[in-house]
């Protein structure tokens, strides 16, 4: 398996382990926006949204740009790609072991046929 | 986006947010094994491994079969597939917004050409 940054994966998976944070990321996938716009559909207070955004920023999943008093939030791809890669490699690795089992069972079949009673 | 089980995703991502648990899953991807076999390469005590396994079992990522005193552990695919699906859909959604931006910029280009000075 490819070596991933352990801490980056820890922080990414931890950030994704909350429905509000996943929802904020889905919202930001539509385009950059400010904290107030993010808070509105979630019916959350600004401090509550800010708390979740801090976790997402800590994981590097979201970056913040300050334009005067307005803070614009933007998705960052890299950490999510690492997380996706980990699951993907793990899946391939795992499915490969199923394939090996399947191959093994196929190899067994002809021998089993020989033992079958012709009647 | 497809509706996923929120609690299942919470538990899966939370379980994946620890390097030891990810390592245990990678180990189990090689094949079923017992707690003692899992503990050995991690140089961990049996209670420490059991604690992590409980989290993985709670997330449905690992199941346990008891054969007398030996507990055999097995990977379970469903929760990981859900997690992978969430990231995958999110990525498509996000990349689609980049594509839309690219299309928009391409649409702008011919108009910009018209304004170019022929000299």
Indicate the average pLDDT of chain A.
82
**Whether the predicted pLDDT of B114 surpasses 50:** no
Q: Does the model's pTM come out above 0.80?
A: no
**Taking a contact as any Cβ pair under 8 Å apart, which residues of chain B between 52 and 91 contact chain A?**
75, 77, 80, 83-84, 86-88, 90-91
- Do residues A60 and A79 lie in contact, with contact meaning Cβ atoms separated by under 8 Å? yes
Report the alpha-carbon angle B15-B17-A77, nearest 5: 125
Long-range pairs, B39-47, Cβ under 8 A, ≥24: B44/B20
Q: How much is the pLDDT for B118?
A: 44
Interface TM-score (ipTM) > 0.95: no
* B6 contacts A19? CB cut-off 8 A: yes
Query: Cβ of B79: how many Cβ atoms within 10 Å?
Result: 21
Query: What pLDDT is recorded for position A99?
Result: 61
User: What's the pLDDT score for residue B3?
Assistant: 57
Give residue A89's pLDDT.
84
Chain A residue whose CA is closest to B25: A90
Please report the pLDDT score of residue B68 as a whole number: 87
Contact A11, A58 (CB under 8 A): yes
Residue B12 confidence class, pLDDT cut points 50, 70, 90: very high
Q: Predicted confidence band at A100 (pLDDT cuts at 50, 70, 90)? A: low
Residue B116 burial class via C-beta count within 10 angstroms: exposed 0-12, middle 13-18, buried 19 and up: exposed
Instruction: Pick the closest to residue A56 from A108, A113, A14 (CA basis).
Output: A14
Residues B31-71 have pLDDT tens digits of: 889 998 999 888 889 999 999 999 999 999 999 999 888 88
pLDDT of residue A18: 97
> Length of chain B, please?
119
Min Cα separation B117/chain A (Å): 34
Identity of the residue in B17, B30, B93 whose CB atom sits nearest the CB atom of A10? B17
Q: What is the pLDDT of residues B70-89, one digit of tens each?
A: 889 998 888 888 898 899 88
CB contact under 8 A, A91 and B97: no
Residue A65 DSSP code: E
> CB contact, 8 Å: A9 with chain B?
yes
Residues A34-54 pLDDT 10s? 988 999 888 889 999 999 999
Q: Which two tokens stand for residue B42?
A: 């991690």
Ramachandran category for residue A99: left, alpha or beta (phi over 0 → left; psi -120 to 50 → alpha): alpha
Q: What is the pLDDT of residue B32?
A: 87
Structure confidence at residue A15 as a pLDDT band (50, 70, 90): very high
- pLDDT at site B116: 46
């Amino acid at each position: 398996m490819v070596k991933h940054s352990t801490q980056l994966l820890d922080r990414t998976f931890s950030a994704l382990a909350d429905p509000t944070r996943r929802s904020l990321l889905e919202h930001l996938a539509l385009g950059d926006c400010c904290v107030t716009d993010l808070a509105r559909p979630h019916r959350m207070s600004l401090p509550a949204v800010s708390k979740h955004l801090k976790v997402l920023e800590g994981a590097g999943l979201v970056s913040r740009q300050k334009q005067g008093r307005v803070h614009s939030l933007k998705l960052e791809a890299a950490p999510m790609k690492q997380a996706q890669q980990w699951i993907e490699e793990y899946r391939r690795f795992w499915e490969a072991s199923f394939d090996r089992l399947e191959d093994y069972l196929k190899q067994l079949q002809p021998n089993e046929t020989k033992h079958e009673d012709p009647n």
